[in-house]
Amino acid sequence: METDKRKGVVLFSEYNRGEGIKKAIAQSREDILFEIRESKLKGRGGAGFPTATKWMMVAAANSEEKYIICNADEGEPGTFKDRVLLLEYPQLVFDGMVIAGYVIGAKKGIIYLRGEYEYMKKSLEDYLETMEKDNLLGKDILGKKGLNFEIEIRMGSGAYVCGEETALIESLEGNRGEARNRPPFPVTTGYLGKPTTVNNVETLASIPHIVDKGGVWFKKHGTDKSTGSKLFSVSGDCEKPGVYELPWGSKISELLDLVGAKNTKAVQVGGASGNCIPKSQFQRTLAYEDAATGGSIMIFNESRNMLHVLKNFMEFFVEESCGQCTPCRIGNVKLLEGVKMIEKKEFTFAYINQLKDLGRTMQVASKCGLGQSSPNSFISILENFKEEIFNGNGGHNGK
């Protein structure tokens, strides 16, 4: 299962299984937290929350029972980098979980695995067994008295919203996957009401490298605000789709060259819930402070119809909205209706502008990240491709 065929500056750089755990348990929890804070690692699941801060809050929580959850739901359209990490670099993800367990004082880790990844469950369980045999999991890990940690794999069932951390926790507890009100946050009141850290696969996979090579080494890569590297899942119109590791701060144009993209007209950065970047902005950088992304990069060439692309995204959100709050439940339906009106050339610009305002309202009024981000593609595609959508292809009847 392990392979070293991929090359990259951080995640795909050399790492020996167990090395991070060995180094971690030789240090105090505070020292490791210091190192992670020094690295300025931010969560790779999309929101970019500083990992050290989250772990400090769980470490500080007063409870005998704490949990570490690895978010492997990977439901954002166009994302498949966590699959590669789990299949080819399980040593990074699992060592990262054990280190997290040590630092925050949790005895149990759970991987919430995307329903469609059922096929890899057995091989992951086999891998966990080898870790137990080598005393990297289980009781008194690597001889450290009282350091006990186990990992369980639990399956998701294919709902996009279950990637949202509180809906994920609801789902793990056997309830309908719906976002919770926050506060309280999972760091104090998470799985089974206990302090919990939910982290993306890639975030956890970065930890052993940071412990092994240091926070300063990590932040040498990337930019000041976006340290380290990022895995990009590249799909669409290019010669070499796949998973690429690049330092944060790389330009969109550099990534396009790397993957052999020709005649590119648009790049959807951050999946269906991200923003659509036109050619005039390909010099922008992939970074939290510029074009932020959890890793999904979809490339569209000149042959693509951007209204069709947008319709596809909005159909996805209408389907995936959990329906709990009105801005998202009704808003996404209204935005999709708007797309269909444009398609039939039965719209007014005044109404389309009202829909954009509705989208902006959804961004602030929706209960969870799904409804807060679903209008992004509606707004960015209609604004960045208005020539094509409203004037191209033989004109329109809009007023």
- Which residues contact ligand SF4 by CB under 6 A? 161, 179, 321-325, 328-329, 366-368, 370-371
49 contacts which partner out of ligand SF4, ligand FMN, none, CB within 5 to 8 A by kind? Answer: ligand FMN
Kindly state whether residue 39 participates in binding ligand FMN, applying the rule CB under 6 A: no
Q: Which is nearer to ligand FMN, 278 or 369 (CB)?
A: 369
Handedness of CA 241, 89, 191, 151 (dihedral sign): positive
Kindly state whether residue 73 participates in binding ligand FMN, applying the rule CB under 6 A: yes
CB atoms closer than 10 angstroms to residue 263? 10
Residues 322-351 that bind ligand FMN (CB under 6 A): none
Kindly state whether residue 161 participates in binding ligand FMN, applying the rule CB under 6 A: yes
Among candidates 228, 54, 75, which has minimal Cα distance to 156?
75
Cis status of the peptide bond prior to 183, with omega within 30 of 0:
yes
Residue 322 CB, nearest approach to ligand FMN (Å): 9
Return the exposure string of 212-237: e unless at least 16 CB atoms fall within 10 Å of the residue's CB, then b. Answer: bbebebbbebbbeebbbbbbbbbbbb
Kindly state whether residue 45 participates in binding ligand FMN, applying the rule CB under 6 A: yes
Residues 184-213 that bind ligand FMN (CB under 6 A): 198-200, 203
Q: Which of 35, 95, 164, 212 binds ligand FMN (CB under 6 A)?
A: 164
Residues 74-103 that bind ligand FMN (CB under 6 A): 74-76
Among candidates 357, 289, 303, 296, which has minimal Cα distance to 327?
357
371 contacts which partner out of ligand SF4, ligand FMN, none, CB within 5 to 8 A by kind? Answer: ligand SF4
Kindly state whether residue 117 participates in binding ligand FMN, applying the rule CB under 6 A: no
Kindly state whether residue 169 participates in binding ligand FMN, applying the rule CB under 6 A: no
75 contacts which partner out of ligand FMN, ligand SF4, none, CB within 5 to 8 A by kind? Answer: ligand FMN
Cα 124 from Cα 119, distance rounded (Å): 10
Cα 279 from Cα 284, distance rounded (Å): 10
Sheet containing 264-269: order of strands: 242-247, 229-236, 296-301, 264-269, 275-278
Kindly state whether residue 49 participates in binding ligand FMN, applying the rule CB under 6 A: yes
Binding segment toward ligand FMN, per CB under 6 A, in 139-147, 228-236, 238-246, 367-375: 367-375
Residue 388: strand, helix, or coil: helix
Residue 368 CB, nearest approach to ligand SF4 (Å): 3
Kindly state whether residue 270 participates in binding ligand FMN, applying the rule CB under 6 A: no
Handedness of CA 250, 256, 310, 84 (dihedral sign): negative
Rounded to 5°, angle at Cα 232 from 375 and 244: 165
Kindly state whether residue 71 participates in binding ligand FMN, applying the rule CB under 6 A: yes
